[in-house]
Amino acid sequence: MSEALVEIKGLEKSFDAVRALRGVDMEIAPGQVTALLGDNGAGKSTLVRCLTGVHPADAGEIRFRGEPIKLGSPDDARRLGIETVYQTLGLIEDLQVWQNLYLNRELTTGFGPIRVLDKKAMISSSREILSKLDVDVPNVRSSVRRMSGGQRQSIAIARAANWGRTLVIMDEPTAALGVRETAAVESLIGRLREDGVTVLLISHDMAQVKRVADVAYVLRGGRAAARRAVAGTSGDELVGLITGALEGDARA
């Protein structure tokens, strides 16, 4: 394994009597797509929320580039260049594409305390962001409401990739998309990897994992039950590890 971008050691998290994470150990290598797999209730969402500062861990350690970190809020994660694309996308439909790309990060111009929005710079930069990632959006001035599901997902991923310069976390990015739109999003994930962006992908689609991921971790019962190099495994084996029909090793 290459030197890890993120190391998770013995991570635990409980909600009252429910132990969501029971000592998770895993590593996320830089510049790779790491898939996070597991059945419902396995702890995937809780782990992501700990990684993004939504929930503080009860025990264990998260290291970022070798240094231990404490994430008290999502802003702490964003300052490290960690961004998340949730299934809800977080886009505002009545805003234009460029406005969504710069939401809460608006550029301003002016002198001293007198500042105004620099719309020209944001529109121009938005075109460059989407062009670099080959995102098929006809006009950055169009409202998101007029976009297809695949275009919306691509906009959300492009926004995360632009600001998440170290790690982009994607939660089921193609769950509600058709075949063509899914292919476009998977192509976008491939371009992120080519650009050296590290991706953590949550997916229930084993065929998709085989197509886009380098490494897969399987969570079961709040623990990392197995680690597999995707090129050396099969979808059936991954399903067996998820269900418990097969036993694995998280260090493999």
- Three-class DSSP category at 226: strand
The β-bridge partners of 61 are: 9
Instruction: Quick: pLDDT tens for 5-57.
Output: 999 999 999 998 899 999 999 999 999 999 999 998 899 999 999 999 999 99
- 147-172 pLDDT tens trace: 888 888 889 888 888 887 789 999 88
How much of the chain exceeds pLDDT 70, in percent?
97
Laid out side by side, the sheet with 223-229 consists of 82-85, 167-171, 198-202, 33-37, 215-220, 223-229
Reading the block at residue 6, the tokens are: 């993120």
Note the CATH number of domain 1-81+164-181+190-252: 3.40.50.300
Is residue 170 within 8 Å of residue 202, measured between CB atoms? yes
112, pLDDT greater than 60: yes
* HSE-up (13 A, CA, CB side) for residue 122: 20
Would you list the domain boundaries of the chain?
A: 1-81+164-181+190-252, 90-163
Q: How far apart are CA 71 and CA 154, in angstroms?
A: 27
